[in-house]
Amino acid sequence: MSTQEFRSLEVPSKEIIDEARAFVASILPPTPLVECEIHGLRLWLKLESLQPTGAFKVRGALAAIHHVAENEPGRRVVTCSAGNHGLGIAWAASRLGVAATVVVPRTASPAKISKLKDFSIDLRLLGESYDEAEEAALEFAQEQGARFISPYNDTYVIAGQATLAHEVTEQLPHAAHLVVAVGGGGLASGAALALEGHACQLHGAQIEQNAAFSEIFEGRDVDFGRLEPTIADGIAGGFEIDAVTLSILHAHPFDLTLVSEAATKEAMARASADAGIVMEGSAGVALAAAFQRADAWDGEIVVAVTGQNISQSEFREVLNAYAL
């Protein structure tokens, strides 16, 4: 079976984006966009942490599974996820009545694995890294004749993630900057498509020791074996070097900022202390990038709080390390 037969890898058309926007809006109410001051910086937080799965990825999951349910009824979907995409697929599949297999690396966040066990899905913990788990998921999808839904490299996932930026432009039409964490670029590429024709500038953020996307985006070779563990586990791991997200972001105004592990943890602690917001590591990366770049920016800054799925013990360690 060819790649094209069990995956969708095209740049989403306007029709696909519009359909995803309408369907996601029919299921999920807009998440709050709140103004606050953190670490002396006034900014807006897009609280995707309040999604039913605790993270933004349910948007892309809904759009992708809706496409399968409408066009390939009865077909199983398979995905690989560090956690949040898997939660999104599990929630959307349960909501729409689609059979789903979710493959998760054994090293994924315990908090996310625990939540996945609450759903009636085929949950498989395979491999010690995202790359190993993804290889197993792709092989299983091909063997079963199932539809593989990548967390980022998927036409309909990207279209679903675009809905976040659409909401920002509706809630704050004069937004000047949108900062999003980047793993494989699904959210960033969706946002780039949604922001076409808007003055809002799109900024990506990655963690220094696990920045495969940044290296490939800038045309450098990546030694995937040297990627280090990070609290931002949701955006960690390898990357398909021919992903459609790359072509989308290369064709749109977009820049990337790398932040340190320490800066990420401090941002998480400051969000909790100054605004009462719980952020997982991936969201902390975006806030840390905003702190790092804000002096060079004019206008309203929006940071996507992409999720809150972090174990209590891990979050407590962060707060204790930065007693603010």
Give the span between the Cα atoms of 98 and 324, in whole angstroms: 46
- How large is the average pLDDT for residues 28-52? 98
What confidence tens digit (pLDDT) does each residue in 184-200 have?
999 999 999 999 999 99
Cβ neighbours around 71 below 10 Å, total: 9
The side-by-side arrangement of strands in the sheet containing 41-47 is 33-38, 41-47, 300-305, 175-181, 201-207, 255-259
Distances (CA, A) of 274 to 36, 42, 269, 324: 8, 11, 9, 9
- How large is the average pLDDT for residues 83-90? 92
pLDDT at residue 111 above 80?
no
At residue 294, the pLDDT reads 98
What's the DSSP call for residue 98? -
* Across 56-60, 189-193, 231-235, least confident range: 231-235
Q: Find all residues with CB under 8 Å of 50, minimum gap 6, and list them.
A: 31, 32
At residue 324 the predicted structure's pLDDT band, cuts being 50, 70 and 90, is low
Q: Which two tokens stand for residue 173?
A: 């039409």
125/227: higher pLDDT: 125
**Which residue from 68, 23, 45 is spatially nearest to 175, judged by alpha carbons?**
45
> Please, what is the average pLDDT of the chain?
93
At residue 1, the pLDDT reads 36
Provide the whole-model pTM: 0.94
Which domains does the chain carry? 14-55+154-321 (3.40.50.1100), 58-148 (3.40.50.1100)
pLDDT at residue 35 above 80?
yes
At residue 322, the pLDDT reads 86
At residue 65 the predicted structure's pLDDT band, cuts being 50, 70 and 90, is very high
At residue 99, the pLDDT reads 97
pLDDT at residue 289 above 50?
yes
- How large is the average pLDDT for residues 37-45? 97
pLDDT at residue 42 above 90?
yes
Give the span between the Cα atoms of 143 and 44, in whole angstroms: 45
- How large is the average pLDDT for residues 16-20? 98
What confidence tens digit (pLDDT) does each residue in 203-231 have?
999 999 998 899 999 988 877 777 888 99
pLDDT at residue 2 above 70?
no
pLDDT at residue 141 above 60?
yes
What's the DSSP call for residue 28? S
What confidence tens digit (pLDDT) does each residue in 254-279 have?
999 999 999 999 999 999 999 999 99
At residue 189, the pLDDT reads 98
